[in-house]
Structure 1
Amino acid sequence: MLRGLTTVSFFADDVAAAQAWYTEVLGTEAYFAHEVDGHTAYVEFRIGDFQHELGIVDGRFAPHGRPGQPAGPVTYWHVDDVDAGFERLLSLGATVHEKPVERGPGFVTASVVDPFGNILGVMYNQHYLEVLAAARP
């Protein structure tokens, strides 16, 4: 039934500020933007080995409102060095959600809260690297 990750959506009250922050974090520009009433309401980045999509949606379009505290599932993005990635996110203005934790051999996770209230997870995952190696000729 589930075939793969298509888009992870984050919400921000200031989409332009979120776009600028994520452009710095990701090192790439958004490839798509959509306006509503003359304001940017959605931007989308394609990132990583499989060009997964990260969308930033105007907070007024959150389907069930936005909680006062960061909440919900954590999506982890593979990084080669969790400690370095975690520290870089903090240096760019994110705050600690969960410090790096080794979950088992080949699995380390950490998460931050971005300046817009979304939880961003980073993970070293040996299975991700195995899938990537198998996908390359």
Structure 2
Amino acid sequence: MRIYVTSVLVDDQSKALDFYTRVLGFKVKHDIPMGEHRWLTVVSPENPEGTELLLEPSEHPAARPFKAALVEDGIPATSFQVDDIDSEYERLVSLGVSFTQKPMDAGPVRMVVLDDTCGNLIQLIQMKDN
């Protein structure tokens, strides 16, 4: 068994598409119109056949309060792995990304937390060398 698709609830699919592709560097895998919304997935350019991230509209009545509670408590909606957290942090800061937490050590990882501009906090992690 493998994870095929996972999702992040976004306030605006077009805004999310811009952020997740132009800023974070993911590539569009599927962009299929589905009425008012789209089946919109992105993948890592390093693993284009890997797990897809669905940029899912926050339409369910529970979605917005749930997301707001996570953000208020500083809890990321999901986590992405990078090879060099410090250089990725500097790259994203130069693009105007807002961070709620600067790079820090946390057990076996270094991590940062950013605002995806679509109602979520996203954690980036780098595994420490043992």
TM-score by shorter chain over 0.5? yes
**For residue 15 of structure 2, what is the aligned residue in structure 1?**
17
The secondary structure found in structure 2 opposite 1:30 is strand
Q: Secondary structure at the match of 1:66?
A: helix
The structure with the largest alpha-carbon Rg is 1
Counterpart amino acid of residue 123 in structure 2: G
Secondary structure at 1:16 match in 2: helix
Residue 43 (str. 1) matches residue 40 (str. 2): yes
What is the identity percentage for the equivalent residue pairs of Structure 1 and Structure 2?
26
Could you tell me which amino acid in structure 1 is paired with residue 32 of structure 2? H
1:113 shift after superposition: 1.1
Shift of 1:28: 4.4
- Residue equivalent to 1:134: none
* CA distance in structure 2 between the aligned counterparts of 1:86 and 1:9, rounded to whole angstroms: 23
TM-score, L = length of structure 2: 0.73
Structure 2 counterpart of 1:135? none
Give 2:51's aligned amino acid.
H
- Give the aligned length: 123
1:84 matches 2:87: yes
d(CA) in 2 for partners of 1:5, 1:89: 27
Unaligned runs of 5+ in 2: none
Query: Unaligned 5+ residue runs, structure 1?
Result: 131-137
Partners of 1:99 and 1:5 in 2: CA distance: 29
Higher relative contact order (CA 8 A, sep 6+): 2
- CA drift of 1:126 comes to 4.3
